[in-house]
Amino acid sequence: MSNAFDLAVIGGGTAGLTAAQTAAHRHRRVLLVSEGPLGGECTWNGCVPSKALIEAASVRHTALNAAAFGIDVGDVRVDFPAVMDHVHEVIDQIAGYEDEAHLERTGVVVRRGRARFVDARTVEVGDQRFTAERVIVCTGSRPALPSIDGLTAVPYLTNETVFALREQPRRMLVLGAGAIGLELAQAFVRLGTDVDVIDVATSFLPHEDPDIGALMRAILESEGIRLHLGAPPIRVAPTGDGIELTIAGAGGERRLHADQLLVATGRTANVDGLGLDTIGVRTGERGIKVDTHLRTSVRGVFAAGDVTGTLPFTHVAAYQGRLAAHNAFERGQAASYRVVPWVIFTDPEIAHVGLTEPEARRAHGVSVHVVTLPFTAVDRAVITRRPRGLIKVITSGRPLLGNAGGGVILGAHIAGPGAGELIHEFVLGMQVRAFSGRLAQAIHAYPSMSVGVQQAVARLFDAGRASAGDLREDLVFPAVRPRPTPPGPGPP
């Protein structure tokens, strides 16, 4: 077999798999080099196992709250090893569609090992060398470790090791109140672990709209998560039965104890050991520097996915992988991140696209219009007893047309059941630059959660506001109270 290819893809995660298959479908001869298992971080250590664990925890949470539906399930016992077996069964099932046999059936040649550039057209894998007209680097990212005195002396967890646990922690400390930290913190709390979340930031969920952040903070704390914000970790040390973490705060130092420490303080790009400096590929703090066409500083070498430090999402990695494979051989298309959904898979889910209200007001001033709708006004949420949440829509008028048709959507923010699904109505509306009123005009099936989108957007218009009334007063909505117990029979 010849060692000459049209395209070499380095990395077998989402970006790499997408790039390789895109090029193969266009009849290019493709080499895919992967040091780790195919599927990468998302399949083995990220999206898939975390959501499987979240789902298991959600089942227990639902069972514990079944009395609200008039159902008594009694004691709810967690078999933690069985929970983790479920997680790995899900991983194996999804990984089955990303194996070498499947790729090679599509025409992709797979080689295992670490790739290193010899020159801009030659990569070395073990004792073999391969040449390619174009190369796409898709080596992803790994957990970023904070600089904390004593961290290397304790057996800390990251998303790469937490799913190997076989014994449920009694108490867990989570460093980082981002998506990974909060998703896993809530999952473990719902399984019965005592959890503290520590973050150096003083604001909660700073990338989210302030209303959403305030709502979600109250919800997560109501479930038992203890949040320590503006609390930089100072040092960590082993104890007889676990670890002790010292944090700083307004009142001085505090010591927290647990049997497990989970570090979820961000990601760092995998750029080491590739020989990028040998061929002159420029890198920065966030990863490989690319232009809008995903070209690096070296002609014929592209990069896609987390290694670029653009947006650390699987869906963005897939988008960049497709685009890089196209641009490697065809007329270039510029990447656009104008409409990118963000989702945090807590319960309720958090999702947004576009600008927050403060960002919109800074950019568009008085032309900004904001409407909100609590999930207490969405009948399906009340029926399922999941009324905690909020839909927030931010719009602005168009030049010459003003607010005709409700204006255009600048941003949408949802904290509520199915937020990760509901946000895509707004994604599509923004992608095609539709008048926001189109979402209100579209017939939505009742009683679905998506009716909430229709109701929220309808509030941009007089008729919608009149039918909904004033629903903006509270942002934290208590769970629906169980029905009162009917009185027993009277005296004989």
Rounded to an integer, what is the distance from CA 286 to the centroid of its chain?
18
Confidence of residue 99 (pLDDT cuts 50, 70, 90): confident
For 148-195, the pLDDT digits (tens) are 999 999 999 999 999 999 999 999 999 999 999 999 999 999 999 999
For 236-282, the pLDDT digits (tens) are 999 988 999 999 988 889 999 999 999 999 999 999 999 999 999 99
Structure token pair of residue 492: 């004989």
**pLDDT at residue 477 is higher than 50:** no
Confidence of residue 406 (pLDDT cuts 50, 70, 90): confident
Q: What is the pLDDT of residue 327?
A: 97
**β partners of residue 270:** none
Domain 342-468 class, CATH top level? alpha beta
Per-residue burial over 104-131, b = 16 or more CB atoms within 10 Å of its CB, e = otherwise: eeeebbbbeebbbbeebbbbbbeeeebb
Q: Domain residue spans in the chain?
A: 4-38+99-143+268-329, 151-265, 342-468
For 115-153, the pLDDT digits (tens) are 999 999 999 999 999 999 999 999 999 999 999 999 999
151-265 CATH fold: FAD/NAD(P)-binding domain (3.50.50)
Task: Let me know if the fold of 4-38+99-143+268-329 is the same as that of 151-265.
Answer: yes
4-38+99-143+268-329 CATH fold: FAD/NAD(P)-binding domain (3.50.50)
For 18-50, the pLDDT digits (tens) are 999 999 999 999 999 999 999 999 999 999 999
d(CA 111, CA 71): 54
233 cis-preceded (ω within 30 degrees of 0)? no
d(CA 150, CA 161): 19
For 292-325, the pLDDT digits (tens) are 999 999 999 999 999 999 999 999 999 999 999 9
Summary mean pLDDT of the chain: 92
